Structure 1
């Protein structure tokens, strides 16, 4: 995948599309959000800064990967660049997997940059006030970032599939964010209805209906393990975390396989 000529081409196209400016803006938004949030907490400023910073990362990075997918794949078909790209002696799946690797590499690289900046900012904030429960900036933080990386990898696969089958680039944005919102929230909704059945009139049937989504969608909400880093306690990690990672990665591979199949059958006018 990385040896494909489409991977470096994808990187060049991304930076030509001003990925550097997008990354710089993301870093600025993250720093401002975390710093300003810490000013509203007198007792746990570092914890609040990390919490808001992680939330900002989980919102900013999906937008970045969607914009890059639109630029590297959707525009390829929309502007008929494929007439030149597919004329080279390499299979179609090489184009798809190379561009996917480029988007995933850029997104995960930006994740590491933002994670490092957030860790530095939280550490500086923590120097000014000693909390009763300090945040975990070691292995706890690395585990949290790793789970976010798996979440982003899956969303990149979703955006890649939509870029192949969608007729307009805007549907990649709408479809990916719609998938993200549902996959990140249905698990929390089921848990809420289990603990508080009085929220709706017929909680059991409602919970059963929402629970059907678990057979078709990965539980991206469970990949948010920020409590491990916020309170520095490894026991807050879900007991079924190996299954969460395995199911998410399997879902990612399945979406990529479906995207390759769709591209192979795609007819270009």
Structure 2
């Protein structure tokens, strides 16, 4: 088996909790807030959000829909979470497409982007949010397979999606990448994950300076969340709500608390912002 065949044979791991299981979390992660007041800032926008069936991606997709955007949801599996996210978005009166597959598979990315473009012609915003993490206490425990998988899902996908979407991006469009506070302060239990998040920052800064993107007036930015209470946390790290904090605000963030940052970067409100990272992290001071 060739190296490429071997990589393609590796399946990304979906370890999120399903809708029913999520309801048993204490507290239940909140992807919406009644306090959010939309203002049609994205009316008529066509958007793509990867890693969109739960957590931050779901919160961002719903916020986009509330602002009037059509949303293409991309996630690993066509499961009840993805279906319920689609139903909620359509309930908000906008169009929604769903796609299931490996975001790190180049062929899947090409096929999905083309399908979205065939349906909507123009794409205004791409959110590269899909990610996976696998905690290991020792560097010696990080296998080549895990390393390949984490980098493929987290950074290869970010590059693939950005490249394939570009021809269809509207002038003044936006690419928004999800990084992490771990890119800045490190994480001894998530060394490969933190490395990919650092790579996302470098890619964001580099792509923002790309001549083709500048000429098309496409802005490229990132959001670096701190500890956010999503189904991924108890499923992959095993930590409780109380344990998953360690920030000055002394609590994890909720997914909905990230969404306004993405709305800001997706709209003309951030027309003079590119190559930057917004830190929504509960008060952790980082060096940019």
Q: So what's the TM-score if we normalise by structure 1?
A: 0.28
Greater Rg, structure 1 or structure 2? Answer: 1
More strand by share: 2
More helix by share: 1
Higher RCO (CA 8 Å, separation ≥ 6 residues) = 1
Q: So what's the TM-score if we normalise by structure 2?
A: 0.27
